[in-house]
Amino acid sequence: MTDIHTDAATSTPDAGTTPPAVTAAEPTVQKLTLSKAINSGLRQAMLDDPKVLMMGEDIGPLGGVFRVTEHLHAEFGDKRVLDTPLAESGIIGSAIGLAMRGFRPVVEIQFDGFIFPGFDQITTQLAKQTYRHEGSQSFPVVIRVPYGGHIGAVEHHQESPEAYFAHTAGLRLVSPATPHDAYWMIQEAIRSNDPVLFLEPKSRYWQRGEVQLDAGTAVPMHRSRVVRTGTEVTLIGHGAMVATLLQAAEIAAEEGTSVEVIDLRSISPIDYVPIIESVQKTGRVVVAQEAPQNVSVGSEIAATIAERAFYSLEAPVLRVSGFDTPFPPAKLEGSYLPDADRVLEAVDRALAY
């Protein structure tokens, strides 16, 4: 198993992760929602490999709560798209067994807050099995997790639990921010021989964007990416937060401030090469996330920047996050979740140093 706590730029990629070529008959560009892009990526992965199968609550004829698996049961049947009981621990335990027998199971956790009944199976079993087998056995399990807020839902439906799993050696965590990335990253996650948590920003499911089907347009899933260039402040985020950062950057530009935006894409491992290069250029950094701040992914990024680019910093690395409280009732989520105004306030503080 690859050491996933090294920089993505220096880690060894999984064997066999080259995206499949697109046939000449296919259109090279489609405009899809993020949910449809994941659906299309799942379908392509199932066409490419008969060992890929899906498991989850209501993912079959219903197509899942968010319809991400819509039509797949009708096409591939109930032996490859399995409706399961409401038992996350059992679902993930079954996926581990299937992986040991050569399958590539893709598990759906219906909502982020429902992952905790399966927490033990993920962190003490799935994440450690390859290590226990001294690399002789791979466990290619993908766990799809709709996560994050902005949908006005009730408790346990809007959380961002990524830090729990990023802390666990043996797991890969990725989160697409665009339909294009969603299409390609889900296929790469399925081809990975290591377990992958595929975190889907559910508030962006209905965002439309161009998906380029030419395999040459796919960026490796563990690479972070500069999505807007700037010279004065670097903004860093993942998932749904990327759209908020781009909104803040537009407002900042209107006010005369040049802001660079980096989409992490991968949460474990984190590709720090574009991050450090950006910090060396701007000297100021704001890291933003929906999750609470304490012992978070944003905290880890801030600490690493301070270690690797200390002499390039003109101000402390600032963090913008959800508050260190349980997720509030839906009517208060607008006060809890970071928005462009909170990001811009941090930008102003960074520039004031």
d(CA 229, CA 207): 22
pLDDT-based confidence at 18, cuts 50/70/90?
A: very low
pLDDT at 216: 87
What is the side-by-side order of every strand in the sheet holding 81-83? 81-83, 52-56, 104-108, 142-147, 196-201, 172-174, 266-268
Domain ranges across the chain: 29-217, 225-352
225-352 fold: Rossmann fold (3.40.50)
pLDDT at 178: 97
d(CA 266, CA 172): 8
pLDDT at 25: 53
Q: For residues 116-143, b (16+ Cβ closer than 10 Å) or e, as one string?
A: bbbbebbbebbbbbbeeeeeeebbbbbb
Please report where in the chains the tokens 């079959």 appear, as a residue.
Answer: 60
Q: How far is CA 116 from CA 161, 194, 237, in A?
A: 9, 21, 24
pLDDT at 152: 81
Apex 204 CA angle, 199 and 206, nearest 5: 125
pLDDT-based confidence at 215, cuts 50/70/90?
A: confident
Q: Please determine whether the domains at 29-217 and 225-352 fall in the same fold group of CATH.
A: yes
> What does pTM read for this prediction?
0.90
Q: Is the pLDDT of residue 154 over 90?
A: no
Per-residue model confidence as pLDDT tens digits over 293-338: 999 999 999 999 999 999 999 999 999 999 999 999 888 998 999 9
pLDDT at 192: 97
Domain 29-217, CATH homologous superfamily name and number: Thiamin diphosphate (ThDP)-binding fold, Pyr/PP domains (3.40.50.970)
Other Cβ atoms less than 10 A from the Cβ of 309: the count is 19
Q: Is the pLDDT of residue 47 over 70?
A: yes
Token reading at 108:
């759906």
pLDDT at 22: 47
Of 277, 274, 245, 272, nearest to 261 by C-alpha is: 245
Return the HEC string of 93-124.
Answer: HHHHHHHHCCCEEEEECCCHHHHHHHHHHHHH
Please give the positions annotated as active site: 157
Classify strands 196-201 and 142-147 as parallel, antiparallel or unpaired. parallel
Q: Is the pLDDT of residue 77 over 80?
A: yes
Contact 279, 234 (CB under 8 A): yes
pLDDT at 27: 62
d(CA 166, CA 187): 21
Bridge partners for 144 per DSSP: 108, 198
d(CA 189, CA 201): 16
pLDDT-based confidence at 155, cuts 50/70/90?
A: confident
Per-residue model confidence as pLDDT tens digits over 227-258: 999 999 999 999 999 999 999 999 999 999 99
pLDDT-based confidence at 2, cuts 50/70/90?
A: very low
Q: What is the SS3 assignment for 290?
A: strand
Please report where in the chains the tokens 């040991």 appear, as a residue.
Answer: 100
pLDDT-based confidence at 156, cuts 50/70/90?
A: confident
Q: Is the pLDDT of residue 85 over 50?
A: yes
Q: Is the pLDDT of residue 132 over 70?
A: yes
Bridge partners for 320 per DSSP: 288
Instruction: State the average pLDDT for the chain.
Output: 92
Please report how the helices 179-191 and 34-48 are oriented relative to each other, as an axis angle in degrees rounded to 10.
30
Q: How far is CA 82 from CA 56, 60, 76, 190, 351, in A?
A: 7, 6, 10, 17, 53
pLDDT at 26: 57
Looking at per-residue confidence, does 137 or 151 come out higher? 137
